[in-house]
Amino acid sequence: MNSPKTKPIFLLFAFCFLLFSANVIAISPTPSLEPETDKIQGIRDAVKEEVRKNLEEAKLGQKKAYVGEIGEITDTALGLDTRIGKKQVQVATETIIIGENKGKIEFEELEIGAFVIAMGYFDENEILQAKRLVIINKPKPRVRQVAFGQVTDISETKVVTVENEKKEIIYSIQVAGTTKITKKKEGKIQQVEFDEIAEGDRVVAIGTPEENEEKIITAKIIHIIPTSSPTPEE
């Protein structure tokens, strides 16, 4: 085995063995990483669980309210049609119910179609446990409108034409004597005069649309956003 003849054979044998083994060792996973990943995952799960518990506890202690139309009345609950969908409200014997005349009324006096504010606390199933129910008038639909776009024309009669290219809408904004016009100057929003509005400026206007014509707005507030910010020298 130690003879000079066998040496090259032994070396060749070792070379062939290492050639294949080295390749395999390179692709072998690091065994120590697996328990580390499990550990991290375990910590993550524990933190998530703790956050979830805290959030639930916080929710349970928070006062919440729903506003909506009574769509269903059962022995102990109301089904409300709210802005965010149908919501169930649990009513207990100690729940205070205030009628339209501001006096206390009984649960049996509630009617389908009435508008109520239900105030109380969420239970663990996120069902509102009402402590106070107040009957209100049906909320009026919103009349104010927001118009946003670029000024394309300013008439002598103080009508500003504003185009919103993205929405492909052209607004006619009537500026009245009471219209408040604002612009950011020296880092503060300040009231300015009508002649500060220039073609090419972007404006946001809040106003009331004309009857049956929501593109014609009598502005209450117009805020001007100049196309380019003034340089400090200006």
Partner 1 sequence: MKKEVLIAIIIGFALGLVITFGIRTANKALKETAPKQEAQVEIEEPAPTPTAGLLLTITSPEDNSISDQETIEVSGKTSTEAVVVILYPKGEKILEADEKGNFSTEISLAGGNNEIEISAHDLEGNDASQVLTVIYSTAEI
Segment lying near partner 1 (by CB under 8 A), choices 7-15, 103-111, 152-160, 190-198: 7-15
* Of residues 93 and 157, the one with the C-beta less far from partner 1: 93
String marking each residue 22-61 x if it binds partner 1 according to CB under 8 A:
-xxx-xxx-------x---x--x---x-------------
Neighbours of 87 (CB within 10 A): 19
DSSP class of 26: H
136 binds partner 1 (CB under 8 A): yes
20 binds partner 1 (CB under 8 A): yes
- The whole-angstrom separation of Cα 201 and Cα 161 is 11
8 binds partner 1 (CB under 8 A): yes
Beta strands in 60-142 (DSSP E): 63-73, 77-82, 85-98, 115-122, 128-136
**Three-state SS annotation for 166-199:** CCCEEEEEEEEEEEEEEEEECCEEEECCHHHCCC
117 binds partner 1 (CB under 8 A): yes
CB 119 to partner 1: min, Å: 5
Q: How far is CA 47 from CA 36, 41, 56, in A?
A: 17, 10, 14
Token pair listed for 234: 């200006």
Write the burial class of residue 129 (CB in 10 Å: 0-12 exposed, 13-18 middle, 19+ buried): middle
Among 148, 192, 215, 218, binds partner 1 (CB under 8 A): 148
CB 165 to partner 1: min, Å: 6
HSE, side-chain direction, 13 A CA sphere, residue 7 = 4
String marking each residue 159-198 x if it binds partner 1 according to CB under 8 A:
-----xxxx--------------x-x----x---------
The b/e string for 142-172 (b: 16+ C-beta within 10 A; e otherwise) is: eeeeebbbbbeebeeeeebbbeeeeeeeebb
223 binds partner 1 (CB under 8 A): yes
101 binds partner 1 (CB under 8 A): no
112 binds partner 1 (CB under 8 A): no
* Of residues 83 and 101, the one with the C-beta less far from partner 1: 83
13 binds partner 1 (CB under 8 A): yes
Residues that bind partner 1 (CB under 8 A): 5-6, 8-10, 12-17, 19-21, 23-25, 27-29, 37, 41, 44, 48, 62-67, 83-84, 117, 119-121, 131-132, 134, 136, 139, 142, 144, 146, 148-149, 164-167, 182, 184, 189, 202, 204, 206, 220-221, 223, 225
